[in-house]
Amino acid sequence: MRNSGVGISRDMSPLARDRCNRMLKLRWVLRNCYPNLDLNMRLHYDKLQINGRVFEWDAEDLVDRPQMQIRLEQVEGKHC
């Protein structure tokens, strides 16, 4: 399918797509607000891996399973 203009991506439920979009936004905020930090960030479906720690959304909480929870306002409320 090269050079056809057609792409194939994973099928996601609306909930998973929403969590993925929130992770993409979080990754963008972290990269732009803290450019000097050496963060190795990878998005895996609807989870974000930062320096080996996996974060995911649990309702309105950003969760680093199984260690701690971080309120969403702590991350999205502080823009550069």
Interatomic CA distance for residues 31 and 51, integer angstroms: 13
pLDDT tens for each residue of 52-61 = 888 887 777 7
Other Cβ atoms less than 10 A from the Cβ of 29: the count is 15
pLDDT at 72: 46
Taking 70 as the pLDDT cut, the residues of the chain under it are: 1, 65-80
